[in-house]
Amino acid sequence: MALPVGSIRAASRRVLSRSRPTSPSAPAPAPASSPWLLTIRWASSSTPTSPPSPAPARRRGFYLPLSLLLVVPAIYYFYPSSPSRRLSPYTYSDHPVSSTTPLGPSHKELAVPIPRESIGLFGTDAVRLDGTPVKKDDEELVVQHVMVKNPDLQIERPYTPTNDVETDGEMRLVVKRVKGGEVGRLIHSLKPGQDLGVRGPITTFSLVPSAYDKIVMISSGTGIAPFLQLLSKLPAAPPSPALQSPITSSPSPTPSPSRPSSPSASASHPPAHPSLHLIHSLPAPSRPDWSLSPTLLPRVQDRLGDRLVVTRVPPGPIDRLAVEAALGARDGEKVLVLVCLPPTLMRPLCGPLTIRLEQGPVTGLLAELGLSNAEVWKLE
């Protein structure tokens, strides 16, 4: 039996009013033009929406290892794992500064005592670049550096002690403050008694001095630091008041007459000790020569005596005559040339380090003088 259209509309309104309660202040719903359309709208609006599907499990499994890969190294390197003050190449520890000495408007020397349990890391327990322990029977010497951090910015920079840390019981660092250098700014602001975050020591290079007849070192600025450390670790020369270490302020094409051209011809030290020649750039005329501080270059000169020849050259590219005078005749001699210069000065002298800080081929002036990769070692 067919029902009247008015009855169907009234029944639909009653169903809606019972199933969809409204607030007393809400207006009544407007009548629909068709009861079937109204019923369909009510049914679709009452259907609950499905929650968003969870991320795939494999995506969650990817983000977790990635987060650990980024967070763990940062904690490992920049935060010490324990309050111990023992030095470690892998974690930072805080060490008090015992003294600070200004060396000029932009350079400062810091002295940091080393805990007794860490002294061996700078000598008896030192390792080579490949991590193997140094053999003391070979008289191998290791030159090392440490990393210093700014705890506010988590930035670290390498600094090389200028002294024999194992003998002195402390490390001395010469730090230059440059524009925009946050670690240098932090170090220059330290006062005696305040802590310095240190990680290390880390091996820079190692060598057996007796394996060479002559060792030539070429540096400028703070690049002299690894050479001062090396010279501090060499055996001291016997007292010889008649012979003094010559210092020339300009290159000379011939060796100094007070300095034997070959270590085998010298009676002041055994042939096993190589002859030493340091070529170091002078500062700009308007800047002080901080390398002449009593704890730096004069100290190693007094210690080594006539075994060490120091040549000071003008700032800029290293002069060819100075290098030729330091190398000498090289008649069958085993020579090692150590270079620590900024890239702009290293490139014309011996060629730059590679992008991975590897040695790369020897080019430039040293290649013209016949030196090979086995005779040249570049330092960053």
Alpha-carbon gap, residue 254 to 173, rounded angstroms:
34
Q: Which residues of 74-105 are buried (b: 16+ CB within 10 A; e: fewer)?
A: eeebbebeeeebebbeebbbebebeebeebee
112 is in an annotated binding site: no
* Residue 85 marked as a ligand binder: no
Q: What residues contact residue 166 under an 8 Å CB cut-off, 6+ apart?
A: 119, 120, 122, 123, 124
Q: Confirm or deny that 159 is annotated as ligand binding.
A: yes
Buried b (16+ CB within 10 A) or exposed e, 337-363: bbbbbeeebbeebbbbbeeeeeeeebe
Give CA angle at 331 (328, 336), nearest 5°.
65
Q: How far apart are the C-alpha atoms of 94 and 196, rounded to whole Å?
A: 5
* CA distance to 46, 74, 225, 301, per residue, from 318 (Å): 86, 40, 18, 22
Q: Residue 210 gets which letter from DSSP?
A: G
As beta bridge partners, residue 378 has 339
Q: Are 252 and 373 spatial neighbours (Cβ–Cβ below 8 Å)? A: no
Which amino acid, one-letter code, is at 338? L
What is each CA distance from 156 to 59, 77, 153, 167, 220, in whole angstroms?
34, 10, 9, 26, 22
Q: Which residue is associated with the tokens 């390398």? A: 291
Number of helices (H) and strands (E) in the chain: give both, helices first: 10, 13
90 is in an annotated binding site: no
Collapsed DSSP state (helix, strand, coil) of residue 276: strand
In a 10 Å sphere around its CB, with 0-12 CB exposed, 13-18 middle and 19+ buried, how is residue 46 labelled? exposed
- Residues annotated in the binding site for FAD, as ranges? 157-159, 174, 176, 183
- Residues annotated in the binding site, as ranges? 157-159, 174, 176, 183
